[in-house]
Structure 1
Amino acid sequence: MHNSQPALPCLKGKHIFVTGGSMGIGFAVVREALKAGANVYFCARRPEGIENALNELLQEGFGRERVAGVSADVACTDAMDSMFTEAERIFGPLNGLVHAAAIMGPIGSILHVDPTEWLDAVRVDLFGTFVVAREAAKRMVAAGGGRIVLLSGGGASGPFPNYTAYACSKVAVVRFTETIAQELGALGVVVNCLAPGFVATKIHEATLQAGLAAGGDYLQRTKDELAAGGTSPAYAARAATFLLSDAARGISGKFISAIHDGWDRWPEHISELQESDIFTLRRILPSERGMDWQ
């Protein structure tokens, strides 16, 4: 686990937009970005969650001149267009995005999950990522550049039985990251994808409710992780804030573990990162495992 406490990067005066910002990882990102000097506009699904988050931030000394939040559906194109427009009206041109909003979707064998629920999870987790990233990128290109951080999750780096909607959406987000990083790089926009680790948030309540449909081993792992407190959302928040800052210059198109990858030392290895396919999704060939089948 990556246990170091890197110096807080400077985001002074930057405008950062965070989805899923009322709780869990998203809220930790909002708080960390504010500590780094940014002005933050965030959204979440539930209005009461927005108010609770704003009240907590106000009690911590962050004034309403620096933070605002509203309720919205990230997969609604009209809502996101209006929200980004309002965010820029309040805080000026957009400099950074962290997209943390997601749902777990139906849990169970492909033989039994509800197709409508499955599609809705893909709508939120994958199409919502497209909608949010597209709206942010349009504004960043117009402003001369910016930084986008998307979140992956369980199943992005390996099979995740009984969670097909969530896992397939999240692995697609990784490839989406790599692809739009190439599309937008020449326009001044960098894009990375962050794996936060097992953070004890409400999303895992779905596993507990699903019971054995989640798979006995994963159900027990979830219970154990939650009992132990899980991974602190602070790891993902620090990594996201780093990726939003000038300290991460030259890093784009990468799939990054917030807790394992030593990302705060990456600026020492920019040329190696840029010239190789490390920290990306790739097909493994026999020759890469000492086999020759030709």
Structure 2
Amino acid sequence: MASPDLSGRIIVVTGASRGIGWNAAVALGAAGAHVIAIARTVGALEELDDAIRAKGGSATLVPLDLRDLDAIDRLGLSIYERWGKLDGLLGNAGLLGLITPVGHLDPKEWNDVMTVNVTANYRLIRSLDPLLQRSDAGRALFLSSGAAEKCRPFWGAYSTSKAALEALVRTYAAEVASTSVRVNLFEPGPLRTQMRAKARPGEDPQTLKHPSAVAPDLVRMLSPEFHDHGTRFEFPTNSVTHFLD
């Protein structure tokens, strides 16, 4: 299947310096989108910029720690002043946190996970929804996890954050259902990422798919031709759940 033509589209990608975010940003740029790439590490963003340019794309690099919530408001203002709209948001950034009993979780560790995985996405919606509404086909896609439902022992911070994220996104989707903005969730499943290696240190990474495997679906779901709304796409099973039904 040919990649959608995203020429002229402006798309924000959080957590763009590695893994799923990196590969999605490169694929979006190759499809013609101008990528606003957000990550904490300047050097990794510069390497991403080189990779996007090598594919004929373009990017604006935004070194930003999503725990700096006020900076997310400034991001929205900057996008408005430069482009006047936003066509897509890929909420990819996430923290695993410590794999430890709930009672052993350090409060700062808990707060960091909840801030990056939940509160930052709320602030992104708050800052960027007005810009998505100015697009002819605004698209917002957020990465979830099977941990939101499975709730394994010792995964308390991560599981709780992903369950909260899903509740946030489902609510947002219901609120914009009568607009041209389409909002969906994406579960990538196990992939060969640094987060997975940290979570499962004994696992052979070569048994897992590379994060580039999900990039075509992410591009598809952020394109103006994708009209589904209020869905949760599970990459491992290629299945879709309609959560607004």
The answer to whether TM tops 0.5 is yes
Deviation at 1:165, TM superposition (A): 0.8
Greater strand fraction, Structure 1 or Structure 2: 2
For 1:140-289, what aligned pairs fall within 5 Å after superposition? 140-143=132-135, 145-207=137-199, 219=200, 223-228=202-207, 230-249=208-227, 251-261=228-238, 278-280=241-243
Task: String of CA shifts for 1:195-251, please: whole Å, max 9, x gaps.
Answer: 1111222223433xxxxxxxxxxx4xx5324242x22222322112111113321x1
Residues 169 and 112 of structure 1, relative CA distance in 2, 3 Å threshold? same
TM-score (norm 2): 0.90
- Structure 2 CA distance for partners of 1:37 and 1:60, relative to 1, 3 Å: closer
In the superposition, the TM-score normalised over structure 1's length comes to 0.76
CA RMSD between the two structures:
2.2
The residue identity in structure 2 corresponding to 1:240 is: L
Q: Any idea what SS the aligned residue of 1:18 has?
A: strand
Cα pair distance change 1:257/1:157, threshold 3 Å: same
> What is the CA–CA distance in structure 1 between the aligned matches of 2:106 and 2:133, rounded to whole Å?
39
3-state secondary structure, aligned to 2:102? coil
Deviation of the 1:34 alpha carbon: 1.3
Q: Does 1:129 align with 2:106?
A: no
Output one character per residue of 1:32-52: Cα deviation in whole Å (capped at 9) or x when no partner: 111221111111011121112
Q: 1:164 Cα shift? A: 0.8
- Partner in structure 1 of residue 40 of structure 2: 45
Moved more, 128-137 or 141-150: 141-150
Instruction: Tell me the distance in 1 between the aligned counterparts of 2:80 and 2:168.
Output: 25
CA radius of gyration, larger in: 1
Matched residues, percent identical?
Answer: 27
| Kept after mapping to 1: 8 A contact 2:85/2:131 | yes
Output the CA distance in 1 between the equivalents of 2:142 and 2:4.
19
Question: C-alpha displacement at 1:262, in angstroms?
Answer: 5.3
SS at match of 1:42: strand
Residue 100 (structure 1) aligned to one of 92, 115, 124: 92
Amino acid at match of 1:253: G
Amino acid at match of 1:280: F
2:26 and 2:48 in contact (8 A); partners too: no
Residue segments in structure 1 that go unaligned for 5+ positions in a row: 1-5, 208-218, 264-277, 283-294
Aligned length: 245
Q: Deviations over 1:73-100 (max 9, x none)?
A: 2243321122233334445521111011
Offset at residue 279 of structure 1 (A): 4.0
Q: Which residue of 2 aligns with 1:80?
A: 72
One-letter code of the match for 1:259?
P
